[in-house]
Structure 1
Amino acid sequence: MDKFTTITGIAAPMPLVNIDTDMIIPKQFLKTIKRSGLGVNLFDEMRYDDNGNEIADFVLNKPAYREAQILVAGDNFGCGSSREHAPWALLDFGIRCVIAPSFADIFFNNCFKNGILPIALPQEQVDILMKDAEKGENARITVDLEAQTVTTSDGQSFGFDVDAFKKHCLLNGLDDIGLTMEKAAAIDSFEAKAAADRPWV
């Protein structure tokens, strides 16, 4: 998993509430167990028409937001089913941070496990960031995980809370496998001792 320290990037405004995981990645794309390749189908039903053509006025199809790394959204982002494909699709598109007033719990935790930083901020601060994001590609928002701040293109800064353990994992690029591998020496020692103590097992 890639480390998350600081990003300064384009933020895409998506002022919708209750964006559920089926909107993020529809059920027909859940057949794969690969984390790559889902970005093209991110928000598929809002992004493409019935013939597979891009819908020009959807935010991520606009030239200014095709390289967005941050998504500013409405309340209760990631609700619905617990599919981990949702953060996979966001990450594969290039989204590393989602900012919203609130998140569904399972989606929120799945983000951290996949290298995405979900930030919950008060509605009035999200509104300011939404307006800043609407300025387009010249308005870059900075997210600093170490300092726990989000800064608008004109320098207005907001602090955010994050669990210390989740912060450690993101800063060091540690998913569940990475955390286990940090204990590789202790695991090897235990297995060697167990094999010596009980060679018949």
Structure 2
Amino acid sequence: MSSNDAERGKEAKQPQVSAYPVSTPQNEKSVLLCQARGMFPDLVRFTWKAKDQRGSILELKDAEQLEQRDENPVQITSMLIIDQHKAMNNKFTCSVQHDSSFKDNEVDIPKEVTQKSNANITCPSPKAEEEDEEEPMNTGVFELSRSLHLFSVTYVILLVKNVLYFCTVSVLLYKRNSANMEMFKSKAR
């Protein structure tokens, strides 16, 4: 039996959805985190919603949304980068769509962590064996922060590499064209 046949025989499993509090602002931007894990198939779609203090729905067109996928076990994290003022003054909800459920799993993003709430806010309720796998929220936020930092460093390195490649090719083309011009001038004489 191949691994694809084994995967086809598995039953769909709902994701365990966790929300993390608003990050401390940097450069007047805050990061909201929502994570889905333990699902099968491992395809989910995140939707972010925001309501102001009067209950009016806000548009998130100026927000930047990133997704990160980690293997073993599969975890997909959605990060919403938003203006600090909006993050602190509005209520945000993360909605996760998955094939195993007819309704979306929704979880509110907490404003801050208190001393009492050191565990993940989770919806739907996990099974008993999954509760043993819970990690403290501080570790999860640290790992996500580190992953986001590594992603940023990798992105900058790739940009620098592309700029160096472009400059090298430009210099080589310029030298080739200069050599061709000199050759044509010497043959023309």
Q: Does TM, normalized by the shorter one, top 0.5?
A: no
TM-score (norm 1): 0.28
Q: Which has the higher strand share?
A: 2
